[in-house]
Amino acid sequence: MTEPATRSTHFRTCPLCEAGCGLEVAVDDGVVTRIRGDVDDVFSHGFICPKGSTLRQIHDDPDRLRRPLIRQGGQLVEASWDEAFAEVERLWNKVIADHGREAVGVYLGNPNAHNLSALVFLKPFLKALGTRNVFSASTVDQRPKELASAWLYGGGLTVAVPDIDRTDLLVMLGANPFASNGSLATAPDWPGRIEAMRARGGRLVVVDPRRTRTAEAADVHLSIRPGTDALLLAAVVTALANRGLVDPGDHLGPLVRGLDTVIEALAPFTPESVSAAVGLEAAAIVQLATELAEAPTAVVYGRMGTTTAEFGTVASWLVDVLNIVTGNLDRPGGAMFTKAAAGASNTRGRPGVGRGVRIGRHQSRVRGLAETLGELPVACLAEEMDTPGPGQIRAMFTVAGNPVLSTPNSARLDRAMAGLDAYVAVDIYLNETTRHADVVLPPPSPLQKGHYDLALLQLAVRNVANYSPPVLPLDDDQPDEWEILARLALIAQGMGADSDPSVVDDLVVATLVGSAVGDVSSSVYGRSPAELMAALEPRRGPERVLDLLLRTGPYGDGFGSVEGEVAPGVVPLSLDVLIANPHGVDLGPLQSRLPEVLRTASGLIELDEERLLADLNRLASVLHRPVAEVVLVGRRDLRSNNSWMHNVEVLVKGRPRCTLHVHPDDAERWSLSPGGLATVTARTGSVDVVVEVTDAVRPGVVSLPHGWGHGLAGSRLSVAARHAGVNSNVLTDDQVVDVPSGNAVLNGIPVRLTAAG
């Protein structure tokens, strides 16, 4: 073996999931040779999951797109970047001339949340598109939590996260961080943190219709009937109220609006009245209430199982109601607010009061579903495409998404995508969705991009900041992802396919500088914009924006106006400071932030939001509804990541993971045998899938993971095609949504089972 001529080690945050682990990447002669956990990372301390090291396989994957594709004579063929942008312009001009901007739709997928380029440059792109038809993966995910948080605290990302490192009792509903590594609570190494919690005498209660790996690590597992978390949580509040155990405490009490109204509205939901519907003994519900009241500190935390459900927003709100009535909001060991180093709207503007949020500023054309936080629910995307009439979507942009596998009633969406007049995708793969595109614009691989978790660090269980420069250089001619988005923005603005993307970049920075110097609460209030712009030289693109956000953020150097320590041992932040600290900067454990964090109009926690109270009537109406014999829920596997990492051989090899989990009683009842095929039928469609019999699921509940169903003609995922699995979203229903948020219902789907073939 010859020694490499150059050998270097890079430290990089993993962009694949919300845990944001630190990676140590070894590069020999420009080739990545090894990726392992960065033991010196201030947040993850060396933790890594099997996916983290596969950034190398993704980079090297021959199926990963490196050149743009254009459709010619029905086929997608490689083209130059100039040809591709010229084709986008041609398609755009035609659609706008024929149908106007409202005929354009856009779908933004999950990886955008982990992507600095996208987080900065999607905004000008959407603005340039000028359409209301904006959809994203948020409405098959966390929109209920964002909406509940927006109503309570005044900001969609002002989400109270569980302080898992200090709590005495963690009550977790509908989350399985041992497989998912956590969500809406950024924390690497949940298993380690939970072990540490139990070692210091803390307790874990898991509420899940499946006995997950997380449930196995718990002190108590409550196997709830799917879709009923809101009933359970409401009954726990009432149990506390009836025992005189509601006590927000001196800190929270004066800040909460409408507590009595809420307690009264929840009174009909008692442990006894909900017991049958939730499938748990009333005594177990009372026990949960008592434990919450008695624990020195406690926190309730709900995720996918509670948000992608029929009462997602009410359940998400009730999680916070419980944290409030037990006095656990905003105190160590409870549910707390992160103070992020960059980009958080709850660290800008006047502290403690704001404009709150307005939703329903417009409605979807066909079903009249309300806009929330600037988007329409993705559950209505297909009908907006396939229902003729003025305003029908005729053209789409997707950025980092695969809605044909990820969104409800996906077979309908697949047909609708095939019928579009024009479709432009920004994606690194030709997947089940992007195979319909007329133009595909591939951004660089994750290892070729700088990284800062602008969104997810706003939800971290510890205040940290960490920037990673690109590990590998861009390929020849390869534009960075921000340049692709900026050029699309320019085309949509009518500036032409060959305009300079730096125009957009300069505008973004100038706008942000303008608002920083105009913000009375900012450290740079009243300073000269030209002076700040000069100080940001010579950086460009997302890095320049990040430097600005860090320097004007709560730990920033204020462009020289802040001196001393901003946290113990930490100098005022700028991008240079982060670059000098490749393992990240630890800004310490979460601190109490009420009332400063609030941006509601009243300056209070608005607990009694009308639309939530109104939805309790809908909740009460299900108490006596007949129960479906079998319902479907999802699940996640540690070696999988939504729909797009099944092309990595090391992750998919071995036993098939896309199987139907069936309880032994149900297997017998429906004559299903292990390893045999079951036909699962729902209102929207049916799939044939391999049966795995296990008592880890509750009787009457079957479980199928999402993101599978590969091997469709026209996609280019050769490994995934050999491990195709079936698409669970053929079974989920686009017509059933959580009413306040319009979020899709992906759990608790009524299905029928029969033995196949």
Ligand X SMILES: Nc1nc2c(c(=O)[nH]1)N[C@H]1C(S)=C(S)[C@@H](COP(=O)(O)OP(=O)(O)OC[C@H]3O[C@@H](n4cnc5c(=O)[nH]c(N)nc54)[C@H](O)[C@@H]3O)O[C@H]1N2
Instruction: Work out how close the CB of 495 gets to ligand X at its nearest, in angstroms, rounded to a whole number.
Output: 22
Q: Which of residues 143-182 bind ligand SF4 (CB under 6 A)?
A: 181
Q: Measured from the CB atom, is 175 or 259 closer to Mo ion?
A: 175
**Candidate segments 48-56, 204-212, 686-694, 727-735, binder of ligand SF4 by CB under 6 A:** 48-56
Compute the distance between CA of residue 307 and CA of residue 748 in angstroms, rounded to an integer: 12
Instruction: Work out how close the CB of 173 gets to ligand SF4 at its nearest, in angstroms, rounded to a whole number.
Output: 21
Compute the distance between CA of residue 432 and CA of residue 413 in angstroms, rounded to an integer: 11
Q: Does 600 bind ligand SF4 (CB under 6 A)?
A: no
Compute the distance between CA of residue 253 and CA of residue 690 in angstroms, rounded to an integer: 53
Instruction: Work out how close the CB of 659 gets to ligand X at its nearest, in angstroms, rounded to a whole number.
Output: 14
**Residue 399 binding target from Mo ion, ligand SF4, ligand X, none, CB below 5 to 8 Å by type:** ligand X
How many C-beta neighbours within 10 Å does residue 193 have?
Answer: 17
| DSSP E strand boundaries for 216-358 | 220-222, 256-257, 299-302, 335-336
Instruction: Work out how close the CB of 36 gets to ligand SF4 at its nearest, in angstroms, rounded to a whole number.
Output: 10
Q: Could you give the maximum distance between any two Cα atoms of the chain, in Å?
A: 76
Compute the distance between CA of residue 286 and CA of residue 94 in angstroms, rounded to an integer: 63
Q: Measured from the CB atom, is 46 or 529 closer to ligand SF4?
A: 46
How many C-beta neighbours within 10 Å does residue 384 have?
Answer: 21
- Point out the residue whose Cβ comes nearest to ligand X: 305
Q: Measured from the CB atom, is 177 or 258 closer to ligand SF4?
A: 177
Q: Does 32 bind ligand SF4 (CB under 6 A)?
A: no
Q: Does 21 bind ligand SF4 (CB under 6 A)?
A: yes
Instruction: Work out how close the CB of 307 gets to Mo ion at its nearest, in angstroms, rounded to a whole number.
Output: 9
- Point out the residue whose Cβ comes nearest to Mo ion: 141
Q: Are 331 and 297 in contact (CB under 8 A)?
A: yes
**Residue 21 binding target from ligand X, ligand SF4, Mo ion, none, CB below 5 to 8 Å by type:** ligand SF4
Compute the distance between CA of residue 44 and CA of residue 224 in angstroms, rounded to an integer: 32
Q: Are 205 and 300 in contact (CB under 8 A)?
A: no
Q: Does 17 bind ligand SF4 (CB under 6 A)?
A: yes
- Chain centroid, CA 176 distance in Å: 15
For residue 631, give the nearest of 640, 639, 618, 622 by alpha carbon: 622
Q: What is the 3-state secondary structure (H, E, C) of 425-486?
A: EECCCCCCCHHHCCEEECCCCHHHCCEECCCHHHHECEEEECEECCCCCCCCCCCCHHHHHH
Taking CB under 6 A as the criterion, the residue among 25, 32, 48, 266 binding ligand SF4 is 48
Instruction: Work out how close the CB of 6 gets to ligand X at its nearest, in angstroms, rounded to a whole number.
Output: 26
Q: Measured from the CB atom, is 111 or 558 closer to Mo ion?
A: 111
Taking CB under 6 A as the criterion, the residue among 10, 11, 14, 420 binding ligand SF4 is 14
Instruction: Work out how close the CB of 156 gets to Mo ion at its nearest, in angstroms, rounded to a whole number.
Output: 15
Q: Measured from the CB atom, is 406 or 522 closer to ligand X?
A: 406
Residues near ligand X (CB under 6 A): 17-18, 109-111, 115, 137, 140-141, 173-177, 179-181, 183, 207-210, 212, 224, 226-227, 229, 303-306, 309, 399-403, 406, 426-429, 431, 443, 446, 481, 633-638, 640-644, 706-707, 728-729, 732, 746-748
Tokens of 4: 């490499």
Q: Are 752 and 680 in contact (CB under 8 A)?
A: yes
Instruction: Work out how close the CB of 15 gets to ligand SF4 at its nearest, in angstroms, rounded to a whole number.
Output: 8
Q: Measured from the CB atom, is 53 or 138 closer to Mo ion?
A: 138
Return the DSSP state at 363: B
Q: Are 481 and 443 in contact (CB under 8 A)?
A: yes
Q: Measured from the CB atom, is 53 or 659 closer to ligand SF4?
A: 53
Taking CB under 6 A as the criterion, the residue among 52, 305, 542, 707 binding ligand SF4 is 52
Query: If 0-12 CB within 10 Å is exposed, 13-18 middle and 19+ buried, where does residue 173 land?
Result: buried
Compute the distance between CA of residue 355 and CA of residue 72 in angstroms, rounded to an integer: 50
| Chain positions contacting ligand SF4, by CB under 6 A | 14, 16-17, 19-21, 48-49, 51-52, 181, 188
